[in-house]
Structure 1
């Protein structure tokens, strides 16, 4: 495997947890990071720019940063305002930032009772985003409202990630420490609940996929194939799921399903898979980040006799916990790591 040349930006003292490209500006990246590897201490939101460099290798520059009282674990750009994004924090808060304003967030919410580990902004209902927390819940938000719109008791253990479907605005998927993927339909009337905790019943999912006997740390929707998801976790394997049997609307609350067909398994990482991300440009291409200090690119439809594994990017010297395809350039990928570096490279 060839190692693609990469450009890097270094943020000493702050280990990275998530990286995201702006949907409005092709050259803008944001990074969520934490001091002391997220175990204790402050967090920092970094804004970086990517510029063309010699030999086709991009060059990165650090534009500005915002400090927070607790570590940041995830972020998501607004789909309606080019300068705004939300962050997920270890103290249970969610903050909305405007990059044209210095120092302070423009809004903050604090309903989760444990770490918020994931945020995602809907690319269909562009005035909504969701959060997922170690308190077992997934919450639906609007940046204009002071409180959450809906709370799902999604799992009985930590929720590591929740994402909107890119195809249907009311469908979300979540993954958890309990080894399952779940798909929820927000239109189901039984989901319209008030304040929640572990003493309340788990919200009925339209479909539950028993994806692994160990923790599922990450998932992603295929951008071209509805109800196709990828998952990754402690078992070191990326699995691709066909969930077309999912039930929608009121039927979901009356007849929740259990199933999902595993279409393929991509093995090769040596340690847990921390992030998977389908390409926004091709239906068969997926990137992954792992605790084995590598970011890898896979094809789910290799040539006859060929390998699913296309590239290994391994200059990082610590856990690689995030990766993100550029929304504008087909072969450009960003990775972030506990080595305090963001790499941008061409596959």
Structure 2
């Protein structure tokens, strides 16, 4: 979309046969994006071409819940599905490069490490987070992270071994993979499942979360215990499902929800001083 004043105009729109669960921009082509679908397909679109995908992969057996493009290698992306699998893809290849099959429940989220070309994390309904290296057929580490389904995982952008998880148990947890026997910090406060966690690209201690309680919350993980919650955004009127930080404007966040709205704002606690 293009922004003109306060208005947004649609530049391109594509019709699909089923609901869409996730989207990720290519890291090697500014005009391409990959989209995951409820029919198990993954499609690669080019905004400069006709109204048909330039790639259409149909390997997953269930809904594809997430896609994430590798920020380091840039020529691969990962997908995760309700069929319990994670797949690694190259946009030029007609089939997946690798399939990981250790999870025993839906895989809701995958996230590539911002420090490694081959390392990624996955969050699953089997209550675990697994760390993978694409050079190995088996996971290299497993965290028994929550006592309920884990819906989201994200790597800290400044601390190589740190990640955050969000769960149906309403909790957000921060982990150090070097000492993964217990969480570094637990952040209670949401009233329903935590659907998305996302670290700030500008501050190593700022974390955002979106929840089925309709709120988006922001946390300072370096604050004193009990003082971690720094802002609650409660403008959505349905489940809040997504959020992301603007890489180019410090503090700005976009959120989306089932109320069919995208909110773009800067939380007061994140305004530059």
Q: CA deviation at 1:61?
A: 3.8
C-alpha displacement at 1:300, in angstroms? 0.4
Q: Secondary structure at the match of 2:178?
A: coil
Match of 2:194 in 1: 273
Residue segments in structure 2 that go unaligned for 5+ positions in a row = 268-273
Q: Given the two structures, how large is their TM-score scaled by the length of structure 1?
A: 0.74
Name the counterpart of 1:176: 124
Does the Cα contact within 8 Å between 1:243 and 1:261 map onto a contact in 2? no
Q: Specify the structure having the higher radius of gyration (Cα).
A: 1
Select which of 26, 35, 47 maps to 1:99: 47
Among residues 56, 61, 78, which one is paired with 1:108 in the alignment? 56
Question: Looking at both structures, which has the greater relative contact order when contacts are Cα pairs under 8 Å and sequence separation is at least 6?
Answer: 1
Aligned partner of 1:87 in structure 2 is 35
Q: Say if 1:133 and 1:160, in contact at 8 Å, map to a contact too.
A: yes
Q: CA deviation at 1:63?
A: 3.2
In structure 1, list runs of 5 or more residues that go unmatched. 1-47, 192-203, 246-258
Cα pair 1:222 1:228 within 8 Å, conserved: yes
Residue pair 1:287, 1:295 contacting (<8 A) in 2 also: yes
Give runs of ≥4 in structure 1 deviating > 2 Å. Answer: 48-51, 58-64
Aligned-pair CA distance for 1:275: 0.3
Mapped to 1, the partners of 2:58 and 2:117 lie a distance apart of 25
Q: CA deviation at 1:306?
A: 7.3
Q: Secondary structure at the match of 2:83?
A: coil
1:205 corresponds to: 139
- Per the TM alignment, residue 261 of structure 1 is displaced from its structure 2 partner at its CA by 3.2
Structure 2 vs 1, CA of residues 59 and 331 (structure 1 numbering), >3 Å: closer, same or farther? farther
Decide which of 209, 223, 229 is 1:309's aligned counterpart.
Answer: 229
Q: Does 1:216 align with 2:164?
A: no
The answer to whether 1:335 aligns with 2:269 is no
Aligned residues: 267
Cross-structure match for 1:17: none
Return the alpha-carbon distance in structure 1 between the equivalents of residues 11 and 163 of structure 2. Answer: 34
**Paired residue for 2:211?**
290
Name the structure 2 match of 1:31: none
Q: What are the residue-to-residue correspondences of 1:1-347 with 2, within 5 Å?
A: 48-50=1-3, 60-188=8-136, 191=137, 204-244=138-178, 259-302=180-223, 307-347=227-267
Q: Matches of 1:102 and 1:233 in 2, distance apart?
A: 40
CA distance in 2, matches of 1:337, 1:73: 13
Question: Contact 1:49/1:62 (CA < 8 Å) preserved in 2?
Answer: yes
> Equivalent residue for 1:200?
none
